Amino acid sequence: MASQAQRILAIGGVQLGPPSTDWPLHQFLLDLAGQARPRICFVGTAGGESAADRAAFYATFARQAEATHLDLFGRRVDDIEAFLLDQDVIYVGGGNTANMLAIWRVHGVDKALRAAWERGVVLAGWSAGAICWFEGGLTDSFGPDLGPLKDGLKLLSGTFCPHYDSESLRRPRYEELVGSGTLGDGYAADDGVGLLFEGRNFSEAVASLPGQHAYRVERRRGNAVEDTQIRARLLR
């Protein structure tokens, strides 16, 4: 059974499947559950429930965990809250954050995830699956340009920006929006980096590869922005 500790692992970007170098991060995620063979559920709403994403998830986790998934487009689960509460880990994929949140609210997934978090199920995800836990973040949900998203699940305070190192426009645009006050202070993460929150408090940053980092991004007087690097612990 899940513990009563409330934990969220927000990941900047990740790869699934055999070619990935991110297995140390995924092992860390499974270890958070404290079970020999944890139950992990993939929620691929943001990616349109891509069959390729789902297959890559199973290829990554099926040997180490009891893997399952939740589909909402072809919904087969009647009681979503009970289904999610029966998991040890819920892993949310990347894609369109705004669409994902809208679909979740139609099906009550937002409330079910909050209940799971309160019960001690580990919540995690990359990109859209990381932004969603915060008040908001930087997204490309509304078109080719990066813009603010402000209606996250609010389990964590502040905002989040993924892909800080792999998409060149992310960092300057996030700093611009935080500096103007359009988005609140928050965190950013390079690909392969996870930020662990215990309760609502930041605990540590972990990384699959050396040279990858997390960041605390805060507004200062006069629209200035302070971008502080957080050293990530390299996972082995």
Distance CA 124, CA 15 (A): 14
Domains along the sequence of the chain with CATH: 7-234 (3.40.50.880)
Tokens of 62: 């099926």
Q: Which residues are catalytic?
A: 127, 163
Residues 6+ apart with CB under 8 A from 159: 131, 134, 135, 136, 137, 138, 178, 183, 184, 185, 186, 187
Q: Are 108 and 85 in contact (CB under 8 A)?
A: no
Give me the amino acid identity at 38.
P
pLDDT at position 132, please? 98
pLDDT at position 63, please? 95
Q: Are 43 and 159 in contact (CB under 8 A)?
A: no
Please list the rounded mean pLDDT of every run of 10 residues in the chain (236 residues).
82 93 97 97 98 97 97 97 98 98 98 98 98 98 97 98 97 98 98 98 98 97 93 96
To the nearest 10°, report the CA torsion of 107, 80, 125, 63: -140
pTM of this structure: 0.97
pLDDT at position 139, please? 98
Q: Are 232 and 205 in contact (CB under 8 A)?
A: yes
pLDDT at position 3, please? 62
Q: Is 83 helix (H, G, I), strand (E, B) or coil?
A: helix
The enclosing H or E element of 202 equals: strand 201-207
Closest CA to 193 of 172, 171, 164, 214: 214
